Every structure is written in C-alpha cells, then in structure tokens.
Amino acid sequence: MKALVAVKRVIDYNVKIRVKADKTGVETANVKMSMNPFDEIAVEEALRLREAGIVSEIIAVSLGVAQCQETIRTALAMGADRGVLVQTDAELQPLAVAKLLKAVIVQENPEIVIIGKQAIDDDCNQTGQMLSALLGWPQATFASKVKISDGHAEVTREVDGGLETVSIKLPAVITTDLRLNEPRYASLPNIMRAKKKPIATTTPEALGVDVAPRLAVLKVEEPPKREGGHKVGSVAELIDKLKTEARVI
C-alpha cells in the first residue's frame, strides 16, 4: 500500500505573529518557518503504518514556494521515502490546494491520503474535506486512532460529544487530530540520509490546475489589547460595569 502525506510550510508555532504595517497579512520575512504540527502527526501516522507492515511507501507532498523543499526534507528525515513539490509563488487557498493534491494523487495512485486536519496559519480546516469530494473517496476527519485491515480503515474521531468510530473503505482521505500520536524527532543520521532522497518538482501549470484565489483578504488586524482589571466597591457597581462597559448582561 502506498501512502501520500501532505505537509505545509507555516510560521513556527513558537513565533509571535506580527501583522504587516499595511494590514494586508502577517509578517513572514525573516521569520522561522516549520512544518505544520498537524502534518507532523500525519507523517508520524504514515510511518507507524509502514512499521506495522501495512504501508510500503510514503510520499511527502508540499505546495508553494521553493523553500517548501525544506519542509519535505523534514518529512524525509522523519522517514518518508520521497517527496513531491508543486512549486508556485501564488497564494494557495484550500480549494486550490485540494485540486493540486488531487492531480498529484492521480499520478501517484496512493491507497491512503493522510493530512493534518488544519494548518495553524489560516485554520481553515477545509482541504481534507474538499479533497475527498473531488476524488469521490470516503473521508474520516479529526482522527485520534486509525486501524487498517482488509481494505478498510477503522477511524476513531473526536467530535463535540466525545468519540465516534467509523469504518471507511480504502482508498480514503484521513485528517489527523492532536491526540492521534506523538511525532518523532528526526535523528542526525536520518537528516543526512534525507539529503539524498529524491524530490520531484512540478508546477500547477504542468498539472493543469488553476490556482487563482477565490477569496480576497480585505484587512488583517491584531486583536485589541487586553485592558487591566480593577476592583469595584460594591455588587451594584459590578453589575453596572457588566451592563455598560462589558455589555455581557
């Protein structure tokens, strides 16, 4: 069985986000970038499936600028077998990402696709669902446990009311939640080996995919700064402030 894992290059989760002066987006220049944490979980799950003898090959796919090769190399250092970069400088929104992934999947023909449930930069939580619809494949989102046997995947999902277990037929799309696993660290020997693993490069034009944005960002603003608290002299004053200032009652 072949597994395909999508990995996204995002601002590192330890970095404090700063809004650009012109309010057109967040500052990415000279900012540390890393693999989306949910995608790290997806890579780890694919590796565990290979260690269990279920998956034979893992392909890491990233979409975006040339520096996304670094993100693929991280996946290769964790243990993925090879990478595919769809290189473009265009802004990629969830629908364009899903279409590009579909085009790569048609070429690679994997039996299972594992991606993070969302990216920590846009928090859209749409790509996996859109990809499933475009492929016509079953989907299992927010996976906290995955078990594969007899051409089916039994997936435990985290839902508002607790846990839900579903059985889907392969090929399928699975999106990973935080409690699915704990991603491994890449060892130094594996980091060195990853430099020799192949990364194929293509473009949206070569795949025949239109990646023109469907949404326009009007303005990006920082949330208002939190004001300091203060003591009140009586319950009546507290109620008055909750009504007139906080406007919560």
List pLDDT tens digits, range 7-16: 999 999 999 9
d(CA 149, CA 182) in angstroms, rounded, equals: 22
Residue 238: inside a domain, yes or no? no
Range of the domain at 185: 2-221
Let me know if residue 182 belongs to a domain.
yes
Residue 245 pLDDT greater than 90, yes or no: no
Say what the pTM is: 0.86
The number of angstroms, rounded, from the C-alpha of 228 to the middle of its chain's C-alpha atoms is 36
Split at pLDDT 50, 70, 90, the class of 56 is: very high
Query: Is 147 inside any structural domain?
Result: yes
In a domain, 230, yes or no: no
What are the Cα distances from residue 203, in Å, to 79, 90, 96, 143?
25, 11, 12, 31
C-alpha dihedral (134, 140, 145, 149), degrees to nearest 10: -80
Cβ atoms of 130 and 147 within 8 Å: the answer is no
Place 226 in a pLDDT band, splitting at 50, 70 and 90.
confident
**pLDDT (tens digit per residue) in 167-221:** 999 999 999 999 999 999 999 999 999 999 999 999 999 999 999 998 888 999 8
**Residue 86 included in any domain:** yes
**Local structure of residue 10 (DSSP, 8 states):** E
Give the SS3 label for residue 179: helix
Residue 229 in any domain: the answer is no
Would you call the peptide bond into 138 cis, given omega within 30 degrees of 0 as the criterion? no
Residue 23: Cβ within 10 Å count: 12
At residue 224, the pLDDT reads 82
Angle between helix 68-78 and helix 37-51 axes, rounded to 10 deg: 30
CATH of the domain at 71: 3.40.50.620
Most confident segment among 39-43, 161-165, 242-246: 39-43
- Which pLDDT does position 148 carry in this prediction? 96
User: Looking at the domain assignment, is residue 243 inside a domain?
Assistant: no
Domain count for the chain: 1
